[in-house]
Structure formats: structure tokens, C-alpha cells
């Protein structure tokens, strides 16, 4: 007798899992490490403004995604929404872009883990740590969706606790230093050319780094297909985004900028290219914590593993969704009896194995190569969310449906998706604009930064020509019936 083949996922993500993913899904090296470089390059005011702008944009995007995901909770949501409400080729390109983005990002995180572990064990070959952590992440994702969610819950709890403690200690230091020195608490905001030493160009430049810090927030949409009662729980999780933006990002930037002058050379070292040190470490050292570097390296390692864990989950589900929709080989629709798309998991893990390039090359060089390879792909996913939501809402209203029939609807439409789309385009095109002002155009830098854009457009165009797809008219859009 032929063994029955499982092809459907299981809804096992609880409210607390969704809440934690929404609260800290994107917290990683972008906040713990690159925040120092944003302050050094754009000054305290410029860094804060960049994070606020990106934060507002991401909040708008999440309300857009919340409306779509609560109405149609499917795994691999971006590709599905893009196909149904924009163009089938657009959804196809969006899905493969997102899978590629996370598959490469997992490799980036595993190389980052090598660099961090090298701080404690400088004599141990880095690839050994990558193998260990890749095996651990694979295990979390292969056990069950509960295995992934529980691991992510505790990873997230460590990150959130660290930030809360950081803000409390930092606030105490700010007022204590101000009291003892007689200076205003805003003293570091007034030295030299502060608070905006680099002007608008610097703000645009660091907005990309701020955007890197927020990438992963959209994971709440990917989890929709496996969440319990998504019509109720996804909107609740989306509402938590605002508080995370306010507490985790904005307050952290304010604390760092008040305690460390933007001219401090240590901040210049804190960028996504040097993940072994952190501005959080500098602040904890100001508080007299001798073991600050050890503690923060452990937290950063936790953040990196959390990102890798989320990346494996997101990439696996996207590949499964593409295959389920006939846009990837059917073999990737195979699901284990525990509800895990295991063949998609194997394929994603194989790409994550690019981290073993450090066996041949320097780990920091490989880190930069892989980071550049992911480039603008995260912003392309965000653009896809904004466009899909705008057209979804237009079609929904055009066909005579009422907003009160939606489980959740964004109150910021159409300003939200339009603002998010515009800012995403500006940041995507402007993130390496300096390369075009050089006497001799550096094609290597330009290619590394922008290669994701032509690849995305080519995939869309090839699919469009081959399958004769076209933009879906508002009158032809099909909307699923909500389950009560």
C-alpha cells in the first residue's frame, strides 16, 4: 500500500509566539552593532531621525501586511498576495526574491557567529562553529513548528530583556553624569556640528543601515499560515509593533547618543562589518560592568542565532508556498507528519551552507560578500507588501465590499502604503549613491549593491513573457470567504 504523502502545514503558533515574533523578530546585529555607526556617520539627530522615519515606514507596512494576513492567512504570504492582487509574475518574482534573501541571510548569520565565537576561541576554525549552529537551527526547524516557535520565543526574550536593562541603566547614567558634570543631558547633541553633522545625504545613507535593523519584521506575515486563530491573533501582534519601535529602537539610539559623543572613534568601529563589538558594550562599560563585552557578545550571538532560526523558517515556508502554487518544483510541497516542509528545509539548509566558504577565505571577507549578495532584496519584499495592499484595498472596495467585513483594516490607507513605497524606493536607489560620484565609477560596488533589482525585474519579465501574465484588474480580483 502506497504511503500517504502529507502536503499541508499545521496551525500551532500560539498568541505568545506571535507576540514575541512581532516584538523582536528583527532585533539583531542591526540594532546591537550598526546603531553605533549610524550615530557616528549622521550624528545623534540624524541617526534618530533615520530610525524614526524607517520605524514609521515599517509600522505602515505592518498594518498593511496585517490587513492582508488576517484576511488571507497563508504561508508564503507575499508571493500569494502579489500574484492575486498585482500580477502573477510579480508574485513569482517576489516569492523567489524573498526565499533567496533569507537563504543568503542565514549564511550571513552563520559567518557572523564564527566571528563572535572567534572572540572567545581565536584558535578554533570558524567553519566548525557554523556547522554546529547550522545543525542546531536545522534541528529546531525540523522538530515541529512548535520547536521553531519555542526557540524563537526564548531567543527573543533574551534580546528584549537586554534592551530593557540597557535603557534603564543608560537612563540612570545620563542623569548621574549630567548631575556630576553640570552639563545638560543633551550635551553630546550640541558639540561640534551636532545634531546633524552630515546633513540630508548622511541621513539617507544611514537609513539603509536603519532599514537593515528592521528587516525581519515582516515575518509576522509568513507565520500567518501556521498560527492559531489568525484573524484574532495577527492584528493583536501587529499592534505591538509600535511599542517595539518606540522602546527598542528610538530609546536605544537616544541613550547611546547621550552617553557617547558621535565623534567617539569607538562608534566608527561599530558597523555591520565588525560585529564583534557593540555600542551597548560601551555603555555597559561606562556603568562599570567589567564583564560587559562578554555579556554583550553572548546577547549578540543569541540575536544572530535568532535571526538564523527565523530565516530558516521564513525561507522554508516561502519555498513551500511557491511549490504549492506551481511556481517551484512540486517536490518542495512534501510535508512531514509533524507538519514540516522537509524538502524545502533541506534546500534552504543547502544554500545556507555557503557559510562554509570561510574554509577557503577570510571570514570577514565572506561576511561582506554574502551581505552584499542579499543587498536590496529585503527592501524589494517591503515594496511588494505596499503595492499588494494598495491594489487589494482598491479592488476590495471596487467590488462593493465594506471594510467592516475585514478582520483587521489599516486606518492609514492610502497614505501608509504610498509613504512606505516611496521611502523604500528612495532608500533602495540611494543606498550607495556615492559610487556614482567617483571620478571612476566603481562597477564592483554598484553591482554588489544593486544586483538584486535587475535580477528581480528579469525574473518577473521572463515569467510574464513565458506565461503571458498581466496586471490583475480590480474587477477580476478574487477574495476568499472568511471562515467563522
Domain assignment present for 2: no
Per-residue pLDDT band at 258 (split at 50, 70, 90): very high
Task: Report the pLDDT value the prediction gives residue 200, as an integer from 0 to 100.
Answer: 84
Domain assignment present for 483: no
Domain assignment present for 264: yes
Q: Output the domain CATH number for residue 365.
A: 1.20.1740.10
Please give the tally of structural domains in the chain: 1
Please answer whether residues 63 and 221 qualify as being in contact, where contact means their C-beta atoms are separated by less than 8 angstroms: no
The residues facing 6 across adjacent strands are 335
pLDDT digits (tens, 9 = 90+) for 71-104: 988 876 788 899 999 999 999 999 999 999 889 9
Domain assignment present for 8: no
Task: Report the pLDDT value the prediction gives residue 3, as an integer from 0 to 100.
Answer: 44
pLDDT digits (tens, 9 = 90+) for 181-220: 778 888 899 988 889 988 888 888 788 778 878 887 888 7
Domain assignment present for 107: yes
| pLDDT at residue 447 tops 80 | no
The residues facing 471 across adjacent strands are 87
Average pLDDT in the 107-112 region?
88
Among 41-45, 158-162, 236-240, 375-379, where is mean pLDDT lowest?
236-240
Task: Report the pLDDT value the prediction gives residue 2, as an integer from 0 to 100.
Answer: 42
Per-residue pLDDT band at 429 (split at 50, 70, 90): confident
pLDDT digits (tens, 9 = 90+) for 30-55: 788 778 888 988 999 999 999 999 88
Task: Report the pLDDT value the prediction gives residue 91, as an integer from 0 to 100.
Answer: 94
* Burial readout 314-327 (b: 16 or more C-beta within 10 A, e: otherwise): bbbbbbbbbbbbeb
Domain assignment present for 298: yes
Highest average pLDDT, of 146-160, 356-370, 409-423, comes from 409-423
Q: What is the sign of the dihedral through the CA atoms of 67, 70, 73 and 75?
A: positive
Task: Report the pLDDT value the prediction gives residue 484, as an integer from 0 to 100.
Answer: 41
Q: Which three cell numbers stand for residue 398?
A: 471596487
Residues, the chain: 484
Among 257-261, 381-385, 447-451, 473-477, where is mean pLDDT lowest?
447-451
Domain assignment present for 441: yes
Dump strand ranges (E) for 119-258.
none
Average pLDDT in the 311-318 region?
88
Task: Report the pLDDT value the prediction gives residue 235, as an integer from 0 to 100.
Answer: 80
Cβ count within 10 A of residue 164? 13
The H or E element spanning position 418 is: helix 415-430
CA distance 366 to 111: 8
Q: Which three cell numbers stand for residue 274?
A: 565588525
Domain assignment present for 484: no
Per-residue pLDDT band at 273 (split at 50, 70, 90): low
Dump strand ranges (E) for 18-57.
none
CA nearest neighbour of 416 among 9, 42, 43, 56: 56
Which carries the bigger pLDDT value, residue 386 or residue 282?
386
Domain of 128?
A: 15-473
* Burial readout 243-259 (b: 16 or more C-beta within 10 A, e: otherwise): ebbeebbebbbbbbbbb
Amino acid at each position: 500500500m502506497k504511503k500517504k504523502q502529507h502536503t499541508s502545514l499545521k496551525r500551532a503558533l500560539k498568541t505568545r509566539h506571535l507576540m514575541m515574533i512581532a516584538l523582536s523578530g528583527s532585533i539583531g546585529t542591526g540594532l546591537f552593532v550598526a546603531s553605533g555607526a549610524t550615530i557616528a556617520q549622521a550624528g545623534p539627530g540624524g541617526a534618530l531621525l533615520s530610525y524614526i522615519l524607517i520605524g514609521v515606514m515599517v509600522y505602515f507596512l505592518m498594518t498593511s501586511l496585517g490587513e492582508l494576513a488576517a484576511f488571507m492567512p497563508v504561508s508564503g504570504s507575499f508571493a500569494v498576495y502579489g500574484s492575486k492582487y498585482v500580477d502573477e509574475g510579480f508574485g513569482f518574482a517576489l516569492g523567489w526574491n524573498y526565499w533567496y534573501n533569507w537563504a543568503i541571510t542565514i549564511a550571513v548569520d552563520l559567518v557572523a557567529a564564527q566571528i563572535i565565537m572567534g572572540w572567545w576561541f581565536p584558535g578554533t576554525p570558524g567553519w566548525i562553529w557554523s556547522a554546529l549552529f547550522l545543525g542546531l537551527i536545522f534541528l529546531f526547524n525540523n522538530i515541529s513548528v512548535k520547536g521553531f516557535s519555542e526557540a524563537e520565543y526564548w531567543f527573543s526574550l533574551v534580546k528584549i530583556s537586554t534592551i530593557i536593562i540597557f535603557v534603564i541603566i543608560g537612563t540612570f547614567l545620563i542623569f548621574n553624569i549630567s548631575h556630576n558634570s553640570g552639563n545638560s543631558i543633551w550635551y553630546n547633541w550640541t558639540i561640534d556640528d551636532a545634531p546633524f553633522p552630515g546633513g540630508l545625504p548622511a541621513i539617507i545613507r544611514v537609513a539603509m543601515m536603519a532599514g537593515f535593523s528592521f528587516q525581519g519584521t515582516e515575518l509576522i506575515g509568513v507565520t500567518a499560515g501556521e498560527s492559531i486563530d489568525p484573524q484574532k491573533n495577527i492584528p493583536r501582534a501587529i499592534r505591538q509593533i509600535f511599542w517595539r519601535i518606540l522602546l527598542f529602537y528610538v530609546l536605544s539610539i537616544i541613550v547611546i547618543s547621550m552617553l557617547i559623543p558621535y565623534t567617539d572613534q569607538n562608534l566608527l568601529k561599530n558597523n555591520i562589518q565588525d560585529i564583534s563589538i557593540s555600542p551597548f558594550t560601551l555603555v555597559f562599560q561606562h556603568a562599570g560592568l567589567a564583564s560587559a563585552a562578554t555579556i554583550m557578545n553572548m546577547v549578540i550571538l543569541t540575536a544572530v542565532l535568532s535571526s538564523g532560526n527565523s530565516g530558516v523558517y521564513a525561507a522554508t515556508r516561502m519555498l513551500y508556498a511557491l511549490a504549492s502554487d506551481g511556481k517551484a518544483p512540486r517536490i518542495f510541497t512534501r510535508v512531514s507528519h509533524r507538519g514540516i516542509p522537509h524538502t524545502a528545509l533541506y534546500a534552504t539548509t543547502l544554500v545556507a551552507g555557503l557559510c562554509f566558504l570561510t574554509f577557503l577565505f577570510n571570514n570577514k571577507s565572506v561576511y561582506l560578500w554574502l551581505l552584499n549578495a542579499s543587498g536590496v532584496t529585503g527592501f524589494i519584499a517591503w515594496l511588494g507588501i505596499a503595492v499588494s495592499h494598495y491594489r487589494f484595498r482598491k479592488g476590495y472596495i471596487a467590488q462593493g465590499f465594506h471594510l467592516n467585513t475585514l478582520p483587521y483594516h489599516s486606518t492609514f490607507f492610502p497614505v501608509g502604503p504610498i509613504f512606505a513605497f516611496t521611502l523604500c524606493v528612495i532608500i533602495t536607489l540611494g543606498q550607495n549613491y556615492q559610487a556614482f560620484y567617483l571620478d571612476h565609477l566603481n562597477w564592483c560596488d554598484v553591482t554588489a549593491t544593486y544586483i538584486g533589482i535587475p535580477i528581480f525585474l528579469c525574473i518577473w519579465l521572463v515569467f510574464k513573457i513565458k506565461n503571458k501574465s498581466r496586471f490583475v484588474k480590480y474587477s477580476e480580483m478574487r477574495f476568499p470567504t472568511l471562515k467563522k
